[in-house]
Amino acid sequence: MKIAFYDTKEYDRIYFDKIAPQYGFDIIYYESRLNASTAVLADGCDAICIFVSDNADKETIDKLSEYGIKVILLRCAGYDNVDLKACEEKNITVLRVPSYSPTAVAEYASALMLTLNRRIHKAYMRTREFNFKINGLMGVTLRGRTAGIIGTGKIGKIMVEILKGYGMEVLANDLYPDENLDVEYTSLDDLFNRSDVITIHCPLTKDTKYLINKNSISKMKDGVILINTSRGALVDTDALIDGLVANKFRGVALDVYEEEDKYFFEDKSQEIIKDTDLIKLMAYPNVIVTSHQAFFTDESMEAIAQVTCDNLKEFEQGLEMKNKVSEEYTKK
Ligand code: NAD
């Protein structure tokens, strides 16, 4: 099978080059991201491999179908950037890597929580300039405080364990509560009302877009810490900035951002950034923005390459495809 690999970074090649030859797959690496204009790069291939910033909308899918693409390999868990209906119409199979890094993401979200609370990002900058004053760096004790987890799937469940390890009370909200999870499930409103830390671990769907908005922010405690490692559009950036101006938050950590496609994963340090919302967010001392790196561990990269190749092998050999994503699947 021949794969057109979009949005390639050096680290992708290292892990895929180690594993793909064992399966007999031939990969053509492209730095370009997938969109309707770059779909032509896949001409003559059987599959494409894409990541979170690639855009597989209807126009792109129609073109990929013309070029003979039969499979889309997502080297990530989220599939909000793929028009699944268009794929079904064109008989293109979509396969994903559902659980390469739940621990990596949960550990990272907890690192962001600790960093924000104890202002470690500020301390690091200060001591580099030999400023050893600690005023303004005071935190609060997290033990005994309440954390609210939205989405208790693979990542959310590990988050429950980690936060309980800190001695926090843990509330959760999920469309499908897990009876075996030792956690208090509650309504979103109650979670917003009672939580000192809110961490989002649900997918971006049409129902969860702007889950964090003006109304939900108004229900949160003053001094709340908000962490989003899921998808940018779960948070309404304008409402978030209004909340920051009103000093609502003790801290906000974003590993994902609504408009991240234009910036994340690239070096933009020599360019004029035109996204004024991003500039505003960066200007707040109690905001940390990172570039969608929660998943980024050695173990995750190995798992991504391995599972992506297994997915294609299952397709090639007509085996059961356990990681298939379909319109029907998303309604479960
Ligand atoms: P998962 O599918 O195992 O769990 C998601 C949970 O969210 C499920 O329990 C589901 O029932 C729940 N959910 C769905 N809609 C909901 C709603 N409206 N309200 C409340 N709960 C809802 O997914 P996961 O592996 O835990 O990943 C969660 C998200 O993390 C992914 O969708 C992806 O967007 C994001 N992610 C980010 C990174 C990163 O590097 N930053 C890496 C991997 C995944």
Query: How does residue 115 score in pLDDT terms, banded at 50, 70 and 90?
Result: very high
Strands 184-185 and 249-254: unpaired
Which of the listed residues 108, 188, 201, 301 should we mutate to test ligand 1's pocket, taking the one with most ligand atoms within 8 A of CB? 201
Q: Edge to edge, what strands does the sheet with 93-95 contain?
A: 26-29, 2-5, 47-50, 71-74, 93-95, 324-325
Residues 108 and 256 in one domain: yes
Rounded to an integer, what distance in angstroms lies between the CA atom of residue 41 and that of residue 34? 9
pLDDT score, position 328: 57
Residues 176 and 35 in one domain: no
Identify the domain containing residue 306 by its residue range: 2-100+297-330
pLDDT tens, residue by residue, 176-185: 999 999 999 9
Which residues in 184-290 belong to E strands, given as ranges?
184-185, 197-200, 224-228, 249-254, 287-289
Half-sphere exposure of 42 (CA within 13 A, CB side): 34
Is residue 66 predicted with pLDDT exceeding 80? yes
Residues 126 and 246 in one domain: yes
The residue contributing the CA closest to ligand 1 atom 17 is 175
pLDDT score, position 330: 54
Joined together, the tokens standing for residue 7 give: 């949005």
Which residues line the pocket of ligand 1, CB cutoff 6 A? 77-78, 99, 101-102, 105, 150-156, 173-176, 201-205, 207-208, 229-231, 255-256, 292, 294-295
**118 given a catalytic annotation:** no
- % of the chain residues with pLDDT over 90: 95
- Cα(1) to centroid(ligand 1), Å: 31
What average pLDDT is seen over the chain?
96
Q: CA angle 256-259-261, nearest 5°? A: 85
46, 71 contact by CB (below 8 A): yes
Is residue 332 predicted with pLDDT exceeding 50? no
Instruction: Report the CATH number that the domain containing residue 63 is assigned in CATH.
Output: 3.40.50.720
Residues 72 and 140 in one domain: no
Residues 33 and 50 in one domain: yes
Residues 314 and 224 in one domain: no
- How many domains, in total, are found in the chain? 2
